[in-house]
Structure 1
């Protein structure tokens, strides 16, 4: 790398080598096969061909049509157009006319016609065409009786020419498609990692900054009358900041797994500093680490919303469930801007939306909405042994709903 961050000459050379990996052969690779017609061309000047001017025009027409068909065969859009089939039909007509009319070296145009068919036709049509060409070439060679090889050899060569050409081109195109697919998968993996980091960064910093703000306000209130209590809040701010640095490093490496008990303890501390009375009641079977981590994210997001939007005086956390499923309910007595109604899935900002998607991929659900009579409630349900959820969502700014 150079000083300005651009790749150096060694890096550029390596990138050029990677871009020079083998791909499908080009149409120029099929042009040397026209040398098979040199025998017919020499006959025009050796008094072995009647009406040499007609033979010369036929040879010119064959070469022109062959080149046109081969070049169109390497462009998928042109290959499948009606013009390509018309040109291929004209090439077949010229081939049959020259082979039947002159025989001898002119019979070698049948393998060239088969090769051209291999660049244009695919599938069942190719098989039928090659079989018909092989049988016809053998029949014409046997009828003429003046070929340079036996009729069955000419028929075999005709069939193999088109079959091998089509197989090589199809395999090469498949390799190129697989290469493009691999590059697309690599881009998707990078994008997926970006979404994971963006989501985790939102969840981490949104909650952490809210706690720091609340504890800073508490320290400012306590400082004039109780410096010791204010210093305790400052120490908590330092601890939260250090923990946030650790969690961000873990989020970058992708190995962060939260603990529900840890998040509940942090929630108590943050709510108490904000003069919100917390209460926690937990029962039920032990939870799998992935289930604990997902419920920890729910606690973190719910507490962030309570601190930012609810103006609540009390917040309750209830964890209970059966041996198969566990339920976490977070309720507060703050204001509810939405009409009193049953909790509705999907209510909330992008934070709750991201959690809804994350829990859904793990076989759970998340509902959030205002409680009848006031306040806000978030309910999360998960299997006790929830599978690891793939990163399929991206969280943006913190939720903007109440509670």
Structure 2
């Protein structure tokens, strides 16, 4: 469903408020037909102009979602009262329509009810003083009460629409922020492992430059390919959030760990893994391999995949020395594992990261199979 254009609704309401000013033609026309003196005409048109200006100011503020201007309401009331002896009963009949709407914008609850009672009383007294019979008066309080109820309902609806508009804007802003966070998480997960591999290979190439130039050149060539692959992955991510494949991530982990002198042993799952679950495990492999490369001093690394009827699990562990950098602390505060934990939690799984008592590094992820993942 297309979003509502609240701005257009406000503009339409303002135009509608201006249209109501056409009612002022009746008492002015009646005055001119009675052959008044010049001073009465000047007084009438001057006061009506002030009344109309105050009405426009009240309506503009009301449909802008702002507080009504007190001077506008006071000016409207003063102009309305000053015109009672000049324009007679037609003005009384017309003016309470505007007065009720203006008071509704600045009052609520008991105060508004009292103001409506006073307005009805003033209108009735003014008509009686001007010689109007009871047959021309009895309906005035009823009309004022009906208009007050209608205007109050419209005011509440306008407030509700304003809140809906603000809520829609807030939801849109939250959606943008969540998308930014998701993109940052995905970008980190995609580039973290690749850049780590490039760093390790560049360090190896630097050490081999003097002793084995040919191998150093091969390493530099491989780094170029890895960098190009990283660039392709970033392009795929920007284009459509490329999901990693588990087999590709296992191959990347094996190559990266081997370059760092870490032997990898993979125990494959004994059954098929659904695509959505496989994607989560691929993210886990990428992040775990990156942390092993960055933080451990391991010589061996093991990746165990298991699957049963309801869940699939991944365990990555190494034999890093006990005095290696504190992987668990870094893991719990790093962006990579934070993003991975969010992915696993959204799928209804759980993620465990830590260092076993004998040292090394361990990452364990367990996620459900099927559409939940």
TM-score norm. by structure 2 comes to 0.70
The residue that corresponds to 2:279 in the other structure is 293
Query: Going by fraction, where is helix more abundant, 1 or 2?
Result: 2
Among 325, 343, 359, which residue is 2:344 paired with? 359
Residues 42 and 302 of structure 1: CA distance in aligned 2, closer, same or farther (over 3 Å) = same
After superposing the two structures, state which structure 1 stretch, 236-245 or 180-189, moved more.
180-189
SS state of the match for residue 371, structure 1? coil
Residues 77 and 231 of structure 1: CA distance in aligned 2, closer, same or farther (over 3 Å) = closer
The residue that corresponds to 2:226 in the other structure is 240
Among 309, 314, 324, which residue is 1:323 paired with? 309
TM-score norm. by structure 1 comes to 0.66
Render the CA deviation track for 1:39-98: whole Å, top value 9, x for unaligned: 797799859xxxx9xx99xx89x959975876775676645x9x79x969x959x86xx6
- Say whether the 8 Å CA contact 2:187–2:234 is kept in structure 1: yes
Render the CA deviation track for 1:122-148: whole Å, top value 9, x for unaligned: 689878977997799689969987279
After superposing the two structures, state which structure 1 stretch, 105-114 or 276-285, moved more.
105-114
Among 212, 237, 262, which residue is 1:251 paired with? 237
Cα distance in structure 1, aligned partners of 2:360 and 2:104: 73
Residues 298 and 123 of structure 1: CA distance in aligned 2, closer, same or farther (over 3 Å) = farther
Cα distance in structure 1, aligned partners of 2:326 and 2:219: 36
Among 236, 248, 263, which residue is 2:249 paired with? 263
- Say whether the 8 Å CA contact 1:317–1:329 is kept in structure 2: yes
Residues 335 and 176 of structure 1: CA distance in aligned 2, closer, same or farther (over 3 Å) = same
- Say whether the 8 Å CA contact 2:317–2:361 is kept in structure 1: yes
Q: CA RMSD in A?
A: 5.1
The residue that corresponds to 2:318 in the other structure is 332
The residue that corresponds to 1:23 in the other structure is 10
Cα distance in structure 2, aligned partners of 1:281 and 1:175: 59
Render the CA deviation track for 1:248-267: whole Å, top value 9, x for unaligned: 11110233111122211211
Cα distance in structure 1, aligned partners of 2:183 and 2:239: 9
- Say whether the 8 Å CA contact 2:297–2:320 is kept in structure 1: yes
Cα distance in structure 2, aligned partners of 1:288 and 1:65: 70
Cα distance in structure 2, aligned partners of 1:150 and 1:226: 110
1:347 Cα deviation (Å)? 2.5
Cα distance in structure 1, aligned partners of 2:177 and 2:281: 25
- Say whether the 8 Å CA contact 2:354–2:361 is kept in structure 1: yes
- Say whether the 8 Å CA contact 1:332–1:376 is kept in structure 2: yes
User: Structure 2: which 5+ runs fail to align?
Assistant: none
Among 352, 370, 373, which residue is 1:385 paired with? 370
1:208 Cα deviation (Å)? 0.6
- Say whether the 8 Å CA contact 2:297–2:324 is kept in structure 1: no
User: Structure 1: which 5+ runs fail to align?
Assistant: 1-17, 389-403
Cα distance in structure 2, aligned partners of 1:261 and 1:374: 28
Residues 159 and 248 of structure 1: CA distance in aligned 2, closer, same or farther (over 3 Å) = same
Query: Which of structures 1 and 2 has the larger relative contact order (alpha carbons within 8 angstroms, sep 6+)?
Result: 1
Answering whether residue 311 of structure 2 is matched by residue 304 of structure 1, we say no
Residues 284 and 263 of structure 1: CA distance in aligned 2, closer, same or farther (over 3 Å) = same
